[in-house]
């Protein structure tokens, strides 16, 4: 039973091997008072706590601790209620609804409507937390500094979030989706991909076109593919007019487009098979099988030239199961100030890159795959943001640096990854941490440190 619960929502199989540290206990609270009791007891006993909602931390930090032992896991998977208020267009959503909304929003929470409405964290109205003393606080009780920090300042540093109050935004009755895939042979000279870089952040705010890079078989050999995976908040006719005017190079045809409800589009953009019932979203399932993986991220502020694109494809063809995802920015993302929430990646960003390589348990060459993604990341250095080289905190990457054993880190040490994730907002996060959790009760390998750590 213990192993079954531990594995239930752990998304990265790299952190479920026999050699990985295991928690002494796993608590699954059914009520907010159980969370309070867990914190009070853990603090009294001096036991380290890791908190898990959806289990999507890319480096497994919500269920594994390599620098703090013993430790327990507080598994919030049973806290899944959603209460909608139609009158004021808001909803209270508990920690583990769907994929685990707590972790999603603490890192920013991007999605297919980010160019229209901003991030999930940009649309938070209130929250309910348990602090390091076991007290339940709402926005008014915690104060604006703490409220600012938790909405985009990453999880595991300040408190345990029980639920968010989120602003609901309007969507049309009909949205349109399409995925057009091109092989290297179908896009000679990368003209389509180059044009995407020029227009992706400048298209109408209702249009979200991301590019997914994969490798595929091609007449007995391998080729790289780019899939233009899209959600448009509107009907097919309007979409075709926009595409013909702004991005005709893709060659989109009406037959490529499918009209559906917004809810159905979430199933589609999540990668589920065509006509999968929307009830799958209530089951917390992924469209993809669990695997071992390593990921990294970047932000791009100027188009990558043809020489860089050729180098990327050359690298991709050397790996067994690589993937890159380019997510467009612009729209509302460029209008919100960098300091409004801790997530700072705003004006000037054309797109965000996610690099991923994954492999099954039967593949014992983990070090080879990790070396490959690090080599690709190094290759990309001239083409991405710099000083600092920015990264998305929800694509957790311990290669950027981590706290030492016992979570003893100076601010200067933590600044290395803190600036990548938060830019200048890192300084304010440290001040908030020092104020609300000076003894560093909530901590992990990349948590925000207080100015003076009392271990």
Percent of the chain whose predicted confidence (pLDDT) is above 90: 87
Q: Of residues 58, 329, 377, 395, which has the active-site annotation?
A: 395
- Do 341 and 412 fall into the same domain? no
pLDDT average, residue stretch 300-306: 98
Same domain, 232 and 201: yes
- Taking phi over 0 as left and psi of -120 to 50 as alpha, with beta for the rest, 284 belongs to left
pLDDT for 347: 98
Domain span at residue 42?
A: 2-75
| CA dist., res. 193 & res. 187, Å (int) | 8
Residues 184-239: tens digit of each pLDDT: 999 999 999 999 999 999 999 999 999 999 999 887 789 999 999 999 999 999 99
Q: What is the pLDDT of residues 241-274, one digit of tens each?
A: 999 999 999 999 999 999 999 999 999 999 998 8
The distance in angstroms from the start CA to the end CA of the chain is 33
Grade residue 288 by pLDDT with cuts at 50, 70 and 90.
Answer: confident
pLDDT given at position 99: 76
Please tell me the distance from the alpha carbon of residue 169 to that of residue 90, in angstroms, as a whole number: 9
Residues 358 and 421 in one domain: no
pLDDT at residue 446 greater than cutoff 50: yes
Categorize the per-residue pLDDT at 69 as very low, low, confident or very high, splitting at 50, 70 and 90: confident
In this predicted structure, what is the pLDDT of residue 455?
Answer: 45
Question: Within this chain, do residues 193 and 253 fall inside the same structural domain, yes or no?
Answer: yes
Q: Which of 22, 57, 75 is the last residue of a domain?
A: 75
Any domain includes 252: yes
Is the same domain home to 372 and 330? yes
Shared-domain flag, residues 241 and 180:
yes
Find, among 300, 302, 304, 299, the residue nearest to 190 by Cα. Answer: 304
390 is a domain residue: no
Whats the size of the chain, residue-wise? 455
What's the confidence (pLDDT) of residue 454?
45
Same domain, 309 and 194: yes
Q: For residues 196 and 228, is the Cβ–Cβ distance under 8 A? A: yes
Dist. CA 340–CA 428, nearest whole Å: 12
**HSE-CB of 122 using CA atoms within 13 angstroms:** 23
Statement to judge: residues 165 and 179 lie in one domain: no
Summarize pLDDT for 130-183 with one digit per residue, the tens.
999 999 999 999 999 999 999 999 999 999 999 999 999 999 999 999 999 999
> What's the pLDDT tens digit per position in 407-426?
566 788 899 999 999 999 99
In a domain, 388, yes or no: no
Same domain (yes/no): 219, 127: no
pLDDT for the residue 380: 99
For residue 69, what are the contacts with CB-CB under 8 A and spacing of at least 6?
Answer: 21, 48
* Predicted local confidence at residue 219, as pLDDT: 78
Mean pLDDT for the stretch of residues 435-448: 95
Overall number of domains in the chain: 3
Does 328 share its domain with 378?
Answer: yes
User: Residue 408 has what pLDDT?
Assistant: 62
In a domain, 449, yes or no: no
Mean of per-residue pLDDT scores for the chain: 95
Q: Let me know if 395 is a catalytic residue.
A: yes
Tell me the CATH number at 123.
Answer: 3.30.465.10
Q: Is the pLDDT higher at 369 or at 9?
A: 369
> What tens digit of pLDDT does each residue of 101-129 get?
999 999 999 999 999 999 999 999 999 99
Neighbours of 179 (CB within 10 A): 14
Identify the CA nearest to 333 among candidates 110, 153, 90, 166: 110
Segment 346-397, tens digit of pLDDT: 999 999 999 999 999 999 899 999 999 999 999 999 999 999 999 999 999 9
- CA distances 356 to 90, 132, 158, 374, Å, are 35, 35, 29, 10
Q: Which string of b and e fits 194-214 if b means at least 16 CB within 10 Å?
A: bbbbebbbebbbbbbbbbbbb
pLDDT above 50: residue 339: yes
Residues above pLDDT 70, as percent of the chain: 98
Last residue of a domain, one of 54, 75, 96: 75
Confidence of residue 330 (pLDDT cuts 50, 70, 90): very high
């Amino acid at each position: 039973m213990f192993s079954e619960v531990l594995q239930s929502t752990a998304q990265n199989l790299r952190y479920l091997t026999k050699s990985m540290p295991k928690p002494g206990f796993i608590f699954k609270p059914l009520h907010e008072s159980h969370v309070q009791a867990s914190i009070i007891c853990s603090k009294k006993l001096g036991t380290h706590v890791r908190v898990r909602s959806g289990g999507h931390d890319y480096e497994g930090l919500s269920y594994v601790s390599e620098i703090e032992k013993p430790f327990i896991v507080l598994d919030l998977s049973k806290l899944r209620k959603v209460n909608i208020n139609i009158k004021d267009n808001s909803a209270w959503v508990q920690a583990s609804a769907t994929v685990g909304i707590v972790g999603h929003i603490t890192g920013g929470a991007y999605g297919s409507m980010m160019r229209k409405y901003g991030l999930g964290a940009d649309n938070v109205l209130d929250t309910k937390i348990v602090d390091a003393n076991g007290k339940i606080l709402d926005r008014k009780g915690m104060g604006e500094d703490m409220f600012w920090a938790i909405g985009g300042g990453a999880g595991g540093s300040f408190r345990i979030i029980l639920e968010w109050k989120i602003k609901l935004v309007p969507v049309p009755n009909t949205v349109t989706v399409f995925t057009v895939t091109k092989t290297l042979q179908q896009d000679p000279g990368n003209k389509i991909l180059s044009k995407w870089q020029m227009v992706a952040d400048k298209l109408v705010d209702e249009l979200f076109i991301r590019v997914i890079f994969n490798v595929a078989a091609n007449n007995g050999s391998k080729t790289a593919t780019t899939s233009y995976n899209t959600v448009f908040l509107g009907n097919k006719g309007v979409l075709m007019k926009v595409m013909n005017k702004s991005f005709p190079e893709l060659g989109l045809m009406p037959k490529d487009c499918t009209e559906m409800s917004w809810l159905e589009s979430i199933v589609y953009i999540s990668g589920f098979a065509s006509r999968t019932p929307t009830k799958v979203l209530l089951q917390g399932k992924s469209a993809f099988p669990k695997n071992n993986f390593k990921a990294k991220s970047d932000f791009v502020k100027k188009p990558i030239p043809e020489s860089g694109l050729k180098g990327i494809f050359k690298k991709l063809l050397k790996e067994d199961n690589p993937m890159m995802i380019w997510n467009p920015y612009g729209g509302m993302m460029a209008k919100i100030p960098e300091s409004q929430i801790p997530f700072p990646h705003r004006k000037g960003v054309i797109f965000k890159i996610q690099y991923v390589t994954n492999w099954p348990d039967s593949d014992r060459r983990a070090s080879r795959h990790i070396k490959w993604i690090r080599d690709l990341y190094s290759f990309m250095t001239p083409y991405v943001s710099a000083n600092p080289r920015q990264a998305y905190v929800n694509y957790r990457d311990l290669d950027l640096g981590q706290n030492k054993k016992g979570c003893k880190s100076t601010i200067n040490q933590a600044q290395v990854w803190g600036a990548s994730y938060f830019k200048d907002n890192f300084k304010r996060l440290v001040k908030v941490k020092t104020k609300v959790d000076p003894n560093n009760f909530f901590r992990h390998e990349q948590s925000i440190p207080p100015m003076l750590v009392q271990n």
